[in-house]
Amino acid sequence: METKIKKDASDAPDRVREMPKWAARYAHNRTLSVLANMGLFIFAFVVIGGVSTLAGREGQAGHKASAVALVAVALAACALWVWLVTTHRLTRLSRALSSSLYRAEGTAVASARTRGRSGADAVVAIAFGLSVALFVAAGFVFEIPSRYIVPIMAAFLVPFLLYIWSRQGGIVAPFMLLWPGLLVVHALLALAGVRPFSAEPGVVTILVPTVGYGVIAALASHMYSRVALHRLRGLARGQEAEKTGGGRHD
């Protein structure tokens, strides 16, 4: 019994050192709010891309007035996207969603470098919106082979995702890098002509690389947060037992 008590006492400093590490891992991987925010990402992509598609079709049909009106709507959607990004309303929305989704688990704050607003935010937001619109417009002007569809999207989506990740100052989970990573792999396989990655463009072939990989990354991060939370609770129970003397009865 004495040997067991000594062992528990020697383990106590290890538990104390382990708790901050697992607490940080848990906080960094609370990504349910990321899944919710993807709805806004899909909205931006679908609205800007969809309206641009309609504008291209109207232009091809010779309906110049309606084409110009739709182009104006697409530009307005781009402006809305820029406003949401540059005013940090997306950040506040993310925090509100996180507080709601994790209400039962309390608050967890991931340590990170504080970064203020940057003029680059507006530039990146504008570049993303215009890239989506120009990509759709190019599909009407040029006949883009199906194998180049995803690689072209990856050319502007990957830098955008990496920029968003870097701007969070370490708050976003490393698992979220799976999103741009899988997108790059998909693009390379499409360029190589590997099926189904080079299949004809459609709803599924577009949504899988642009949104599906994001869902996979967020779910992987969320599952790891469950592991971290379980480990953290175990360490906390051990620490509590140490304080109350529960270890003496093992």
| pLDDT tens digits in sequence order for the chain, 250 residues long | 444 444 454 555 666 677 777 877 777 777 776 676 666 777 777 777 778 778 878 887 888 888 888 888 888 887 787 777 677 676 677 677 767 777 777 666 555 544 555 677 778 877 887 887 788 777 777 778 888 888 988 998 898 888 877 765 544 567 888 989 999 999 999 998 888 887 777 767 777 888 888 888 888 888 888 888 888 888 777 666 666 655 444 4
Instruction: Label residues 170-188 b or e (16+ Cβ within 10 Å = b).
Output: ebbbebbebbbebbbebbe
Residues 164 and 181 in one domain: yes
Burial class of residue 82 in the structure, from the number of CB atoms within 10 Å of its CB (0-12 exposed, 13-18 middle, 19+ buried): buried
Residues 21 and 78 in one domain: no
Position 11 scores a pLDDT of 53
Residues 226 and 188 in one domain: yes
Q: What is the pTM of this model?
A: 0.65
Residues 168 and 105 in one domain: no
Residues 156 and 67 in one domain: no
Position 245 scores a pLDDT of 59
Q: Tell me the residue range of the domain where 231 lies.
A: 1-30+147-250
Residues 61 and 17 in one domain: no
Residues 61 and 26 in one domain: no
Q: Count of domains in the chain? A: 2
Structure tokens at 228: 């971290």
Residues 151 and 181 in one domain: yes
Residues 245 and 170 in one domain: yes
Residues 160 and 233 in one domain: yes
Query: What is the C-alpha to C-alpha distance for residues 238 and 12, in angstroms, rounded to an integer?
Result: 8
Residues 138 and 156 in one domain: no
Residues 47 and 25 in one domain: no
Give the SS3 label for residue 170: coil
CA distances from 210 to 124, 175, 233 (A): 17, 16, 36
pLDDT per residue as tens digits for the range 87-141: 767 667 767 776 777 777 766 655 554 455 567 777 887 788 788 778 877 777 7
